[in-house]
C-alpha cells in the first residue's frame, strides 16, 4: 500500500527527503548548497560504483536525505531504471516503517513522473490471498512536491492508478491456481469488467461453440470437465477516430498439462500462467475504457483447459476450424494455436482493421529471448514499429521476429489442410500457423509472451509470478492509434 499526496510545497511532515540521480547529476531535487553539495558528491560516487546501485540514507545539514540510484545500467532504459529505483525506495521505506517521505519532482519530465509513480505502485503488489497469515499492511505516504505543476501531476497519478489497477487485475488472475480459475471463472471475471466499464459482452459456452463451429476450443477443451468459453467484449467510445478498429485476442489456457502429449513434471505448475494473454487482453480493455481512449476496441478471450481425460483429443485427430480449414492435431501440447483459430475468427467477424494476439505460445520463444524481451511478429511494418515504440514508452521490450515463409511447408500433412506443429523454428512455425487464420487485409501482430509473462525470481519491480506483460503496451498502442487520425 502507498498513498500519494501531491502538493505545491512540502508539508514538513516527511522524515526523509529523496534525491534521485542519474549518473553524477542529481536529478529533480532541491539544490544542495556549498558544503552539502560536496558531501552529496561523495555519496553519489559511492552508490554509483555499485551496478544496479542502491539506496543510501545520509544526514546533511540536519536534513535526512535518501539517495536513490536511477542510473542507466544493464540494458534498462533510464525511465525503466527510474521505475526500479522508485520500487526499491518504496520497499525500503515500508520495511523500515517510515511513515512519510518527500519526493521533489517539480523538475522532472511528465514521463519521469509517470515512471516514479509506476515504480512506487509496483511495490504495493503482493499475492497473499492463499497465505494463512498475510503480511501486515503498512502504508507509506509519498508526499510529492510539484510546485506549480500540481494539476498536471494529479492527472498523471490518476492515469497511473487506472493502469496499475488493470495490471494488478491481470497479475491476480494469472497467479490464481488453475483449479480456482477455470474458463467459466475467467468468463465471470470478464463479466465484472464489462459491468464496471459499461462494455457489451458475449459469452459462448461449449454448446454454443459446438453449434457455431468454434472447433479449436471444443477440441482442446474435450479432455476436461471444465468446459471452454469464448468471451467477446466491445468498447465503443462516443468519440472514436474513424477507420480504426482494434481487435485484441488473448490465449486463455487456464491450465496446460500438455494433454495426452503430457508435459514433463518439472515446472508444470507454471502453466497456471498459460492464460496470461487473455488476462492482459481483459486488463487492457478495462484500462482503455476507463481512460476513455478514442479507439474502437473488440477484445476476445479464448478460454479452455488443456487436460487429460477420457474424452481428450487424440494425436492424429482432425477438426475443421471456424474459417473452414482442417487441422490435424499432431501434438496436443501445441493447443494455444488451436484455440486462437477461434479467437482470430471471432475478432475478424467484427471487421477489425488492426489485430493483436497475445499468447504464451512456445517454449522456443522462451529459449530464444528469455524473460526480458517479448518476441513478436507482424504482417505490417508500420504496426511493428508502433508495437516497438509503445513497448518502449511502457518499459516493455519487444523484438521483431520474421514470419519466414520458408518454414511454412513444415505445417503440411497428407490428410488435412495443415497440422499444428512444424519441423523447425518453433516460434516462427506457430506464428505461420496463426497467419492462416488472419484475413489478408487486416494489419496483424502476434506477441509470443511465453517467456515474459511469468518470472520465477524477482526481476525489476516484479516478484515471483505474473509480470502483467502486455497490458501497458496495449494501452500505449491504443493511445498511438488514437493519435494517428485514421492513418
Ligand atoms: N504453453 C506452452 C508454451 C509455454 C512454454 C509457455 C513455457 C510458457 C512457458 C504451449 O502450449 C506449448 O506447450 N508449446 C509447445 C509446442 C510444441 C509442442 C510444438 C512447446 O513450445 O514446447
Ligand atoms: Zn501446450
Ligand atoms: Zn499452452
Closest-approaching ligand to the CA atom of 257: 2
Q: Compute CA distances 389 → 372, 385, 395, 398, 461, whole Å.
A: 16, 6, 10, 9, 21
Judged by DSSP in three states, 171 sits in helix
Q: How far is the CA of 333 from the centre of ligand 1 (A)?
A: 7
Grid cell of 246 as nine digits: 482494434
| Distance between CA atoms of residues 375 and 33, nearest Å | 48
Q: How far is the CA of 122 from the centre of ligand 1 (A)?
A: 28
- Pairing, β 25-27 against β 16-22: antiparallel
Catalytic residue among 114, 206, 337, 443: 337
Residue whose C-alpha cell is 471452454: 228
**Bridge-partner residues for 399, per DSSP?**
375
Residue 182 backbone dihedrals phi, psi, to 5 degrees: -75, 175
Q: Compute CA 194 distance to the chain's CA centroid, rounded to the nearest angstrom.
A: 19
Pocket residues: Cβ below 6 A from ligand 1: 256, 274, 331, 333-336, 360-364, 366, 421, 426, 450
Catalytic-residue membership of 286: no
Kindly tell me the burial class for residue 23, based on how many C-beta atoms sit within 10 Å of its own C-beta (0-12, 13-18, 19 or more).
middle
Concatenating the DSSP letter of every residue in 59-100 gives EETTEEEEEEE----TT--HHHHHHHHHHHHHHHHHHTT--E
Residue 261 CA, closest ligand 1 atom number: 18
Closest-approaching ligand to the CA atom of 361: 1
Q: How far is the CA of 35 from the centre of ligand 2 (A)?
A: 62
DSSP state of 128: -
Q: Within a 13 Å sphere around the CA of 187, how many CA atoms are in the beta-carbon half?
A: 19
What is the reported pLDDT for 37?
A: 74
**Bridge-partner residues for 358, per DSSP?**
250, 447
- pTM for this model (two decimals): 0.96
Q: Is the dihedral of CA 150, 155, 160, 166 positive or negative?
A: positive
Q: How far is the CA of 255 from the centre of ligand 3 (A)?
A: 8
Catalytic residue among 5, 263, 320, 460: 263
Mutate which of 251, 450, 469, 470 for ligand 1 pocket (most atoms within 8 A of beta carbon): 450
| Distance between CA atoms of residues 250 and 261, nearest Å | 23
**Bridge-partner residues for 69, per DSSP?**
21
| Distance between CA atoms of residues 100 and 4, nearest Å | 10
Q: What is the pLDDT along the chain (487 residues), one digit of tens a residue?
A: 679 999 999 998 988 888 776 554 445 555 566 677 777 777 777 766 654 456 777 888 777 777 776 665 568 888 888 898 899 889 989 998 999 999 989 888 999 999 999 999 999 999 999 999 988 888 899 999 999 999 999 999 999 999 999 999 999 999 999 999 999 999 999 999 999 999 999 999 999 999 999 999 999 999 999 999 999 999 999 999 999 999 999 999 999 999 999 999 999 999 999 999 999 999 999 999 999 999 999 999 999 999 999 999 999 999 999 999 999 999 999 999 999 999 999 999 999 999 999 999 999 999 999 999 999 999 999 999 999 999 999 999 999 999 999 999 999 999 999 999 999 999 999 999 999 999 999 999 999 999 999 999 999 999 999 999 999 999 999 999 999 754 4
Residue 179 CB partners (closer than 8 Å, separation 6+): 255
From the list 255, 272, 359, 230, the residue with the least C-alpha distance to 308 is 255
What is the reported pLDDT for 52?
A: 47
| Distance between CA atoms of residues 123 and 52, nearest Å | 17
Q: Which helix (H) or strand (E) holds 19?
A: strand 16-22
Residue 106 CB partners (closer than 8 Å, separation 6+): 28, 145, 146, 147, 148, 149
Q: Compute CA distances 73 → 23, 50, 395, whole Å.
A: 10, 10, 14
Grid cell of 164 as nine digits: 496499475
Q: How far is the CA of 83 from the centre of ligand 1 (A)?
A: 31
Whether 153 contacts 6, CB under 8 Å: yes
What is the reported pLDDT for 2?
A: 79
Catalytic-residue membership of 96: no
Grid cell of 446 as nine digits: 502476434
DSSP state of 459: B
What is the reported pLDDT for 268?
A: 98
Q: Compute CA distances 162 → 126, 217, 219, 463, whole Å.
A: 18, 32, 37, 21
Write the residue with the smallest CA distance to atom 22 of ligand 1.
363
Closest-approaching ligand to the CA atom of 333: 2
Amino acid at each position: 500500500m502507498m498513498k500519494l499526496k501531491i502538493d505545491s510545497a512540502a508539508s514538513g511532515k516527511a522524515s526523509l527527503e529523496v534525491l534521485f540521480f542519474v549518473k553524477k547529476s542529481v536529478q529533480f531535487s532541491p539544490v544542495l548548497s556549498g558544503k552539502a553539495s560536496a558531501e552529496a558528491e561523495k555519496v553519489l560516487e559511492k552508490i554509483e560504483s555499485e551496478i544496479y546501485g542502491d539506496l543510501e540514507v545520509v544526514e546533511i545539514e540536519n536534513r535526512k536525505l535518501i539517495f536513490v540510484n536511477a542510473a542507466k545500467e544493464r540494458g534498462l532504459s533510464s525511465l525503466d531504471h527510474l521505475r526500479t529505483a522508485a520500487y526499491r525506495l518504496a520497499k525500503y521505506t515500508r520495511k523500515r516503517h517510515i511513515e512519510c517521505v518527500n519526493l521533489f519532482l517539480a523538475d522532472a519530465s511528465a514521463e519521469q513522473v509517470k515512471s516514479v509513480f509506476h515504480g512506487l505502485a509496483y511495490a504495493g503488489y503482493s499475492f497473499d490471498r492463499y497465505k494463512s497469515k498475510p503480511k501486515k499492511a503498512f502504508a507509506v505516504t509519498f508526499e510529492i512536491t510539484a510546485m506549480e505543476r500540481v494539476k498536471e501531476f494529479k492527472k498523471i497519478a490518476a492515469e497511473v492508478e487506472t493502469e496499475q489497477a488493470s495490471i494488478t487485475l491481470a497479475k491476480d488472475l494469472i497467479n490464481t491456481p488453475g483449479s480456482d480459475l477455470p474458463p467459466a471463472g475467467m468468463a465471470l471475471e470478464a463479466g465484472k469488467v464489462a459491468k464496471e466499464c459499461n462494455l457489451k459482452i458475449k459469452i459462448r459456452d461449449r454448446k454454443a461453440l459446438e453449434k457455431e463451429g468454434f472447433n479449436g476450443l471444443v477440441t482442446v477443451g474435450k479432455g476436461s470437465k471444465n468446459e471452454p468459453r469464448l468471451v467477446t467484449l466491445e468498447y465503443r467510445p462516443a468519440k472514436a477516430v474513424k477507420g480504426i478498429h482494434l481487435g485484441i485476442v488473448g490465449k486463455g489456457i487456464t491450465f496446460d498439462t500438455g494433454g495426452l502429449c503430457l508435459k514433463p513434471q518439472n515446472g508444470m505448475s507454471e502453466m497456471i500462467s498459460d492464460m496470461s494473454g487473455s488476462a492482459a487482453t481483459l486488463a487492457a480493455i478495462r484500462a482503455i475504457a476507463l481512460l476513455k481512449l478514442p479507439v474502437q476496441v473488440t477484445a476476445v478471450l479464448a478460454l479452455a483447459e488443456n487436460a487429460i481425460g477420457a474424452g481428450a483429443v487424440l494425436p492424429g485427430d482432425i477438426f475443421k476450424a471456424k474459417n473452414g480449414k482442417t487441422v490435424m492435431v499432431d501434438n496436443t501440447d501445441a493447443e494455444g494455436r488451436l484455440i486462437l483459430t477461434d479467437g482470430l475468427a471471432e475478432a475478424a467477424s467484427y471487421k477489425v482493421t488492426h489485430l493483436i494476439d497475445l499468447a504464451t505460445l512456445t517454449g522456443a520463444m522462451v529459449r530464444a529471448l528469455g524473460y526480458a524481451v517479448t518476441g513478436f511478429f507482424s504482417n505490417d511494418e508500420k504496426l511493428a514499429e508502433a508495437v516497438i515504440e509503445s513497448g518502449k514508452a511502457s518499459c516493455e521490450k519487444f523484438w521483431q521476429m520474421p514470419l519466414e515463409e520458408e518454414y511454412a511447408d513444415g505445417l503440411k500433412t497428407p490428410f488435412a489442410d495443415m497440422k499444428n506443429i512444424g519441423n523447425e523454428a518453433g516460434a516462427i512455425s506457430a506464428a505461420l500457423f496463426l497467419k492462416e487464420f488472419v484475413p489478408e487485409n487486416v494489419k496483424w501482430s502476434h506477441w509470443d509472451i511465453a517467456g515474459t509473462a511469468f518470472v520465477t525470481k524477482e526481476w525489476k519491480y516484479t516478484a515471483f509470478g505474473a509480470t502483467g506483460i502486455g497490458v501497458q503496451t496495449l494501452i500505449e498502442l491504443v493511445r498511438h492509434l488514437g493519435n494517428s487520425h485514421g492513418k
